[in-house]
Amino acid sequence: MATEGGARSDGSLAGRRPPTPAEPTMGDAEFRMFTALLRRHCGLHFGAESRYLFERRVLRRVRELELTSYAAYHLLLRAGSGREQELARLVDELTINETYFFRERAQLVALVTEILPELRAQRGGRPVSIWSAGCASGEEPYSVVMLAREAGFVPGVDFRVYASDISQRMLRRAREGVYREASFRETEPALRERYFTPVPQGLRVSGDVKQHVDFIHLNLFDGSKLALLGILDVILCRNVIIYFDAPEKRRVIDTFHEKLRPGGYLLLGHSESLINLSDAFELRHLRRDLVYRRPLGPRLGAEPWQAAAEALAGADARELVP
């Protein structure tokens, strides 16, 4: 016979719900293990200031997998049969990719009006290869195609665009090519009308643009996949390396140096520079922006004015934006 509160006269608790298990907490050692694993895997750096959000997003995957502890999830990531797929899922949880069309436009204009003509002349009729590394949802590589077409260049003949990201979720959005209003904060009406079609979900980029971007799932720290890209003429990696710590930044910059042919260009975000990271590139002053170039020949070292010029590059570039 049950008594008040659900207890039986024999002392058992028939009819009462079992207690909800306590939510796991991430200890200091676990935080260090997770962040070290992600740093090795893809270079992402998470400091103490981001710990709360980091823990909540990892917890989301722990719950979805019905695991009982962070330690169990760490073991799955380190040695589980589906570790690569789960690492990709976790990276999707941890990365927030906000971008829009024609972001830092002055640099993109410099690419199509100064860099592209120069490299076309050097390439002897072969198309210039452009890699958008860390392309997120695709606005950057599509912007390059649109601006190059506006400047009179023919995709596939004058240039080719490759785009990569570590997030499968972002790449699905990029390949779909449908964007909401937030992606068009710097897009003038004429370009919206020329290159986009209204759909119920927003605006879809036209097939004439979409077909000229090859999207690739790529980890910047995966040497075997990087080899598939071959040697390139231009690399855009803008607002990406800010998420890496210094050793990982150097690894990525060394990779870019290897992937660029001599005379090729590296375009970073306006808040990024190579100060204290690499002296293998030279700083080029274009009419509308400051960019890096792999020297045509061996470089003996940075010029004395190089560090000071790079320190001012971000501010100077912003002043050049109309």
Q: Catalytic positions, please?
A: 57, 165
The helix or strand, by DSSP H or E, that contains position 131, with its residue range, turns out to be strand 128-133
Q: Which residue has the tokens 């449908």?
A: 178
Count of residues in the chain: 322
The DSSP code for 28 is H
**Could you tell me which of 267, 261, 303 has the C-alpha nearest to residue 282?**
303
**Could you tell me which of 275, 309, 101, 254 has the C-alpha nearest to residue 190?**
101
Token pair listed for 225? 């996949």
The DSSP code for 241 is G
Position 198, amino acid: P
**Could you tell me which of 88, 82, 211, 92 has the C-alpha nearest to residue 142?**
211
